[in-house]
């Protein structure tokens, strides 16, 4: 595929219909939400807690459930083993497909990364999507889909009607890069750097942002900061921080109800020189102080 989004488009096109229902995590990908709305007659939102997407009777009636279990976007939560098993069982009981986007799977530096839902699916109901973008280059837009043979045949036919296939030269180059070990070596370097960045940012945030709830699981490079006292909207902080050269991301657009996330924002450090992380976070802290929080 041309990245995970391309895979999701094909999956939603094949499974969708005006009389069908899709379910997405809340909060979740804004772009995925738009894509599913264009393919399904109804889109439902399933809340996320500290164990990942909640699995209950609200999934009944769905045709497709879109999840990011390994590293939920944007909360960074990893779905618990009990919740994973419950989701697989619910798919069989209620007859729906699971589209699993293994977000950041290539750069996850945990020693024991959870196996995908696809690996324990015995009924062919999980459609697994992943990307090589973060490990190679986002500009290459290379990804892949793994699913039951019949579904892959249908997806390949659909892809052929859209664009035939991703550029051959990109596929062959990436294949050689993987075959001769350069990709694995590059991933190790990236993972080592990401772990260093996470440790620096995690330590600073927890020491200097006591008034915020901080979520950012080990294995990634992003953190969610939530102002539980609702003193400052994330939009205010983001605008003033940008003036100081610090970019943060509002996560309100990730929620089905915008107001739910308007006091929370996302901080990412994957592209920042480790030597500059503390200085950048200090600027962010000063911004918040000047705004009166």
Domains, the chain, in order of start with CATH, read: 4-179 (3.40.640.10), 188-290 (3.90.1150.10)
What pLDDT is attached to residue 69?
Answer: 94
What pLDDT is attached to residue 148?
Answer: 96
> Strand, helix or coil at 187?
helix
Look up tokens 């979520």; give the residue: 215
Q: In the numeric block, which tokens belong to residue 240? A: 């003033």
Rg of the chain taking only CA atoms, in angstroms: 20
CA dist., res. 41 & res. 101, Å (int): 22
CA dist., res. 218 & res. 211, Å (int): 21
> pTM of the prediction?
0.92
What sign results for the dihedral spanned by CA atoms 2, 145, 127, 192? negative
Share of the chain above pLDDT 90, in %: 75
Is 43's pLDDT higher than 90?
yes
CA dist., res. 40 & res. 285, Å (int): 43
Q: Which residue has the higher pLDDT, 59 or 165?
A: 59
For the chain, give the mean pLDDT.
Answer: 93
User: What confidence tens digit (pLDDT) does each residue in 92-116 have?
Assistant: 999 999 999 998 777 787 877 788 9
What pLDDT is attached to residue 293?
Answer: 66
What pLDDT is attached to residue 137?
Answer: 75
Share of the chain above pLDDT 70, in %: 100
Q: What is the mean pLDDT of residues 69-97?
A: 95
Q: In the numeric block, which tokens belong to residue 29? A: 């990908």
Buried b (16+ CB within 10 A) or exposed e, 168-206: eeeeeebeebeeeeebeeebeebbebbbebbebbbebbe
Q: What is the mean pLDDT of residues 193-211?
A: 94
Residue 292: left (phi > 0), alpha (psi -120 to 50), or beta? left
195 in Cβ contact with 221 (< 8 Å) = no
């Amino acid at each position: 595929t041309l990245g995970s989004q391309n895979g999701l488009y094909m999956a939603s096109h094949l499974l969708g219909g005006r009389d069908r229902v899709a379910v997405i995590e809340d909060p979740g990908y804004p772009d995925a939400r738009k894509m599913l709305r264009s393919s399904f007659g109804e889109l439902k939102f399933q809340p996320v807690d500290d164990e990942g997407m909640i699995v209950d009777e609200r999934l009944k009636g769905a045709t497709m459930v879109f999840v990011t279990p390994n590293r939920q976007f944007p909360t960074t939560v990893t779905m618990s083993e009990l919740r994973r098993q419950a989701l697989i069982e619910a798919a069989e009981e209620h007859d729906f497909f699971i589209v699993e986007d293994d977000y950041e799977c290539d750069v996850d530096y945990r020693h024991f990364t959870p196996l995908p839902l696809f690996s324990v699916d015995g009924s062919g109901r999980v459609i697994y999507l992943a990307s090589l973008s973060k490990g190679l280059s986002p500009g290459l837009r290379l990804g892949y889909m793994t699913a039951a043979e019949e579904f892959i045949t249908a997806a390949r036919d659909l892809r052929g009607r859209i664009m035939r296939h991703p550029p051959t030269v990109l596929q062959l180059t990436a294949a050689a890069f993987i075959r001769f070990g350069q990709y694995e070596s590059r991933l190790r370097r990236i993972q080592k750097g990401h772990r260093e960045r996470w440790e620096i940012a995690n330590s600073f945030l927890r020491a200097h942002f006591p008034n915020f709830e901080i979520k950012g699981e080990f294995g990634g490079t992003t953190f969610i900061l939530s102002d539980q006292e609702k003193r400052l909207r994330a939009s205010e902080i983001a605008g003033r921080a940008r003036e100081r050269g610090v970019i943060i991301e509002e996560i309100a657009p990730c929620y089905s109800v915008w107001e739910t996330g308007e006091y929370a924002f996302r901080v990412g450090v994957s592209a920042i020189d480790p030597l500059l992380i503390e200085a950048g976070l200090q600027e962010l802290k000063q911004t918040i102080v000047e705004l009166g929080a």
